Chain A
Amino acid sequence: MAVIFDLGVQGAQMLLVLLLAPLLTGFTRKVKARLLLRRGPPLVQPYRDLVRLMRKEVVLADNASWLFRVNPYLIFAATWVAASLVPTFRTGLLFSWSADLIAIVALLGSARFFLALAGLDVGTSFGGIGSSREVMIASLAEPAMIMIIFTLALIAGSTQLSTMAGFLVSSAVGLRVSLGLALLALIMVAIAENARIPVDNPATHLELTMVHEAMVLEYSGRHLALIELSASLKLLLYISLIACLFAPWGLVPSGGGLGLLAIGFVAYIAKLTVAGALLALFETSIAKMRVFRVPEFLGAALMLGLLATLLLFVSRSL
């Protein structure tokens, strides 16, 4: 019985992230528009876009290979699996032990690997520019993320996300310098990974500033829909990750009843709302930086992560 319940929760989580992801994207767009004193598109616009893209035919470049057609499914699968393993409203998900935080980050790495290949497949210069910049950004963002994981794992004594969240919500942690550094680094990495301002601009179609958009330039129809959905999922994943590690209040431990689950769900929605609004506020208040400033930005994140890890190696209580 308990297993069936757990299975149900895990299934609900998979469905929840899939359904909420476009809404989060729509919400940030809306808040951003309101901050710029525009009315902005309605909240459900991303869903409408997805449906419209799904209905349209795919226009495929003449020399696109089988890899180009398979890639959207691979990218979507890797991102969706990763997103379903991050606790949203309940820890101790049924399958959370099948991949720890390192594996989740590596799954996102797989998605990026195939996305970068997709950018090179048609053999256009814009695809190439996007891919080469994306791997440059990833080459610094990934080690920074690993350093953040080291910090958290050393504090919690585990690389399992559920265990980490459970430990961080307990009062045993307290305020720590290393946690502060890790949070700052994680936010910087999340901004870079999700192609947000100031690293990349999700709304741009100015050729020379594109990174993510340049890689997916040749995609259309259902392929593009899957890629867009994956991008939304990734944003949701990172916000859930930050929320479950640094604001784990309201997370329901495994075995919690339906009432607790309801509270946890409401808390999760509240966290997403706050995070989405903060992201929009941050993006409207800052300008995009030049591509070759990005390594400095991410290098700082890497150094913060390394410093936090070093502090913990020196003393367990810092």
Chain B
Amino acid sequence: MVLLALACAAVLISTAALAVVVSDEARAGLIVYGVCLIASLALFSIALLALLGISDRPSAATLPLGIPWLGAHFRLDALSAFFLAVVNLGAAAASLFALGYGRHEDAPRRVLPFYPAFLAGMSIVVLADDAFTFLVSWEFMSLSSWALVMAHHRVGDNVRAGYVYLIMASFGTLALLLTFGLLAGADGGYAFADIRGAHPSTAVAASILILALIGAGSKAGLVPLHVWLPLAHPAAPSHVSALMSGVMTKVAVYGFVRIAFDLIGTPAWWWSMVVLALGGITAVMGVLYALMQHDLKRLLAYHTVENIGIIFIGLGLALAFKAHGMAWAAALALTAGLLHVFNHSIFKSLLFFGAGAVLTSTGERDMEHLGGLIHRMPQTAFVFLVGCAAISALPPLNGFVSEWLTFQAILLSPQLPSWGLKFLVPAVGALLALSAALAAACFVKAFGVTFLGRARTPAAERARETDRFSLAAMFFFAALCLVAGILPGFFIDALAPVTEGLVGDRMPVQGSVDWLSIVPIAEGRSSYNGLLVFAFMVLSGALAAWAIHRLASDKLRRAPPWDCGYPDANPATQYTASSFAQPIRRVFGSVVFHAREHVEIPPPGDGRPARLTVELRDPVWDALYAPIAGGIAFAADRLNHLQFLTIRQFLSLVFAALVLLLLVLAIWP
């Protein structure tokens, strides 16, 4: 199995090489994306077969690649299979979308070679079974995605986005390098099998966890390491944005799960506190940032940060339960987190596809310049609405199921004996609830300002429906949002081998429960049936429609809007994204972002318009990154003198360094 998967990845890499040659041809996009679509579908089927246990045992392979006497180890177990499935489902849909979307690309030569390489990199990361292969493929994934971020390098702020991304990615990989160094220990067995056998001491294990959180968290977008994400994700072409937000962040989650649940051994209870606190803060900060944006793609990117927070809350709870030996509860929490991984990869990709469709048909990403697109792009509007409802955790769609499971896991946590967790978990629950409610607000804004109302610019007025390939990809994911929402039991059951492997237990079998309900713990304690809720809603809506059709008047007259008697034909009088977020900015933003509003009203008789300016400060940037950048600049300034020393001074400097190093060696135990 794993060899087959690697063969598919090899096909992707050779496609990348091929694309370098053919990317100037007219049909290059068709060929490259077509091959990517087929390869991703093949990889997805392999992963599905492995996950559902049709090929039983985890299959492993060692290839004579990389370091000669070590080789490259690959393994496909349940966890890898799940993430391989998530990666390639997203990749397949993105390739399908790109078959249409890619035709609008100005510089295909800057996209086509890197796209298959990026897909191959992500698939190999989840298959790697030794630290060397893992890190090399991780860097391969980072660098190919960096190249894609820089595809439109002359547009706006993209160069800065690429620069910040490069720095943060290198920093993250450095942290992961140290993680694996500590994991392998002094003897240096870098295969994952050896690492599992080595049992690091408590202090070493703790540093491993912190380093893994930094390394994987910076790629996933945990606050405060998220700063590159909202810059880089929107800068890439939209199908790549969808992959970066929907899929690559999940590869980072995979890295963390692999290290924290599998390689490191038994967790200490306080690790979960770090993960939970970070998850809770990330969830709320992410959605608050998102609410302040008016660039559609940047809003979606910030929202990824929120969902990563939700996923880490699930993972943190699972760690807590695992540390206290409550394997069945850990299985529930881990399932909730992983199900959210799957769900988020679907609706976030869908939303980025929608943003891409809007971008190609209007040339605008700024919501303040859009509006009324529901009239001109009705199908895109419909699928985008489904995505918005799913990500806002509205039943009966899929986002609700994973959040519901997370809430159920939180309700099990009073049984945890540690006092720290007793205080932290309810607070994290409140943060989770807050972020869910704010997410709904955020997507009312995103959909309402972009698609509803009246067109704010001529570009929005001239918008046309997008092409069929893009629509097919979007409709496929919208349907999946509904299916995963009304039949969640099957998806939960598919995760059982993963939780069995990582925490030693699984959730009760859901597929055989009456009426296809999901019952995470016990009947009578909690249950949810998306199928019935959906059926009830359809039934009662249809009943209302039927009754009204039979009994009430069905006359309808079009007229100008009422608007309390003062309708204004100027579309600028509508609510904008900024004005929509104003109450929330005032309630939350004044604390978090030091939001200030300045109103400038010219004196009477002066014909100039009044101006309202809003000033927001980014607390993370101010508190963390600005001091670091300042410190580096300061140090560089001071050290600048070293360039202008005489030869004697240089020689004495070298001598002093040598003595210092020898001293260190002498004192070192």
Taking CB atoms, residues of chain A closer than 8 Å to B586 are 292
Among residues 102 to 136 in chain A, which have CB atoms less than 8 Å away from a CB atom of chain B? 102-103, 106-107, 109-110, 112-113, 116-117, 119-129, 131-133, 135-136
CA of A154 to CA of B454, assembled, Å: 48
CB contact under 8 A between A103 and B581, given known A110-B395, A113-B389, A158-B525: no
Q: Is the CB of A143 within 8 A of B426?
A: no
Interface stretch (choices A37-45, A214-222, A270-278): A214-222
Q: Is A295 an interface residue (CB 8 A)?
A: yes
Q: Which bucket holds chain A's interface residue count?
A: 35 or more
Closest CB of chain A to B354's CB: distance in Å? 15
Q: Is A78 an interface residue (CB 8 A)?
A: yes
Picked from B430, B449, B454, B556, the residue with its CB within 8 Å of the CB of A60 is B556
Q: Is the CB of B422 within 8 A of A123?
A: no
Picked from B372, B434, B529, the residue with its CB within 8 Å of the CB of A98 is B529
Q: Is the CB of A97 within 8 A of B529?
A: yes
Interface stretch (choices B5-13, B225-233, B438-446): B438-446
CB contact under 8 A between A98 and B532, given known A107-B395, A123-B571: yes
Among residues 529 to 552 in chain B, which have CB atoms less than 8 Å away from a CB atom of chain A? 529, 532-533, 536-538, 540-541, 544-545, 548, 551-552
Q: Is the CB of B540 within 8 A of A80?
A: yes
CA of A288 to CA of B552, assembled, Å: 36
Q: Is B398 an interface residue (CB 8 A)?
A: no
Q: Is B362 an interface residue (CB 8 A)?
A: no
Among residues 292 to 315 in chain A, which have CB atoms less than 8 Å away from a CB atom of chain B? 292, 295, 302, 305-306, 309-310, 312-314
Interface stretch (choices B21-29, B330-338, B403-411, B653-661): B403-411
Q: Is A281 an interface residue (CB 8 A)?
A: no
CA of A95 to CA of B515, assembled, Å: 11
Q: Is B69 an interface residue (CB 8 A)?
A: no
CB contact under 8 A between A54 and B575, given known A62-B560, A97-B517, A146-B429: no
Interface string of B367-409 (1 = CB under 8 A from A): 0000110110010010001000100111100001000100110
Taking CB atoms, residues of chain B closer than 8 Å to A125 are 563, 568, 573-575
CB nearest to B373 among chain A residues: A65
CA of A56 to CA of B445, assembled, Å: 32
Q: Is B104 an interface residue (CB 8 A)?
A: no
Q: Is the CB of B526 within 8 A of A54?
A: no
Q: Is the CB of B448 within 8 A of A124?
A: no
Q: Is the CB of A163 within 8 A of B525?
A: yes
CA of A196 to CA of B371, assembled, Å: 32
Q: Is A81 an interface residue (CB 8 A)?
A: yes
Taking CB atoms, residues of chain A closer than 8 Å to B525 are 157-160, 163
Q: Is A147 an interface residue (CB 8 A)?
A: yes
* Interface of B (DSSP majority class): helix
Q: Is the CB of A217 within 8 A of B562?
A: yes
Q: Is B598 an interface residue (CB 8 A)?
A: no
Q: Is the CB of B532 within 8 A of A57?
A: no
Picked from A98, A133, A143, A217, the residue with its CB within 8 Å of the CB of B583 is A133
CA of A55 to CA of B548, assembled, Å: 10
Closest CB of chain A to B388's CB: distance in Å? 8
Q: Is the CB of A98 within 8 A of B517?
A: yes
Taking CB atoms, residues of chain A closer than 8 Å to B584 are 132, 135-136, 139
Taking CB atoms, residues of chain A closer than 8 Å to B427 are 306
CA of A97 to CA of B393, assembled, Å: 19
Q: Is the CB of B587 within 8 A of A136?
A: yes
Taking CB atoms, residues of chain A closer than 8 Å to B638 are none
Q: Is the CB of B558 within 8 A of A113?
A: no
Q: Is the CB of A109 within 8 A of B557?
A: no
Q: Is B553 an interface residue (CB 8 A)?
A: yes
Closest CB of chain A to B603's CB: distance in Å? 25
Taking CB atoms, residues of chain A closer than 8 Å to B557 are 57-60
Among residues 59 to 95 in chain A, which have CB atoms less than 8 Å away from a CB atom of chain B? 59-63, 65-67, 73-74, 76-78, 80-81, 84, 95
Q: Is A252 an interface residue (CB 8 A)?
A: no
Number of interface residues of B (CB under 8 A): 90
CA of A147 to CA of B564, assembled, Å: 38
Taking CB atoms, residues of chain B closer than 8 Å to A76 are 540-541, 544
Interface string of A134-145 (1 = CB under 8 A from B): 011011111100
* Interface of A (DSSP majority class): helix
Q: Is B423 an interface residue (CB 8 A)?
A: yes
Q: Is the CB of A110 within 8 A of B389?
A: yes
CA of A58 to CA of B548, assembled, Å: 12
Taking CB atoms, residues of chain A closer than 8 Å to B454 are 63, 123
Q: Is the CB of A160 within 8 A of B389?
A: no
CA of A141 to CA of B430, assembled, Å: 12
Q: Is the CB of A61 within 8 A of B560?
A: yes
Q: Is the CB of B394 within 8 A of A109?
A: yes
Q: Is A183 an interface residue (CB 8 A)?
A: no
Closest CB of chain A to B44's CB: distance in Å? 30
Q: Is A226 an interface residue (CB 8 A)?
A: yes
Taking CB atoms, residues of chain B closer than 8 Å to A217 are 562-564
Among residues 236 to 284 in chain A, which have CB atoms less than 8 Å away from a CB atom of chain B? none
Closest CB of chain B to A294's CB: distance in Å? 9
Taking CB atoms, residues of chain B closer than 8 Å to A302 are 430
Q: Is the CB of A54 within 8 A of B553?
A: yes
Q: Is A150 an interface residue (CB 8 A)?
A: yes
Taking CB atoms, residues of chain B closer than 8 Å to A81 are 533, 536-537, 540
Closest CB of chain A to B512's CB: distance in Å? 16
CB nearest to A65 among chain B residues: B374
CB contact under 8 A between A57 and B553, given known A100-B526, A113-B444, A138-B440: yes
CB nearest to B580 among chain A residues: A132
Q: Is the CB of B422 within 8 A of A313?
A: yes
Closest CB of chain B to A145's CB: distance in Å? 8
Taking CB atoms, residues of chain B closer than 8 Å to A23 are none
Q: Is A207 an interface residue (CB 8 A)?
A: yes
Q: Is the CB of A61 within 8 A of B444?
A: no
Q: Is A9 an interface residue (CB 8 A)?
A: no
Q: Is the CB of B426 within 8 A of A117?
A: no
Q: Is A33 an interface residue (CB 8 A)?
A: no
Taking CB atoms, residues of chain B closer than 8 Å to A117 are 444, 447-448, 452
Q: Is the CB of B561 within 8 A of A218?
A: yes
CB nearest to B554 among chain A residues: A222
Closest CB of chain A to B375's CB: distance in Å? 6
Q: Is the CB of B394 within 8 A of A106?
A: yes
Taking CB atoms, residues of chain A closer than 8 Å to B523 are 97
4 nearest A-B pairs in the assembled complex, by CB-CB distance = A128-B575, A123-B453, A120-B448, A57-B555
6 cross-chain CB contacts under 8 A: A57-B555, A60-B558, A124-B563, A131-B448, A132-B581, A292-B583
Identify 20 new A-B residue pairs, CB closer than 8 A, beyond the known A58-B555, A103-B528, A106-B404.
Answer: A67-B452, A81-B533, A95-B536, A98-B515, A99-B533, A102-B404, A110-B389, A113-B392, A120-B452, A122-B453, A123-B561, A124-B561, A125-B573, A132-B580, A132-B581, A146-B436, A159-B408, A306-B427, A310-B423, A313-B423
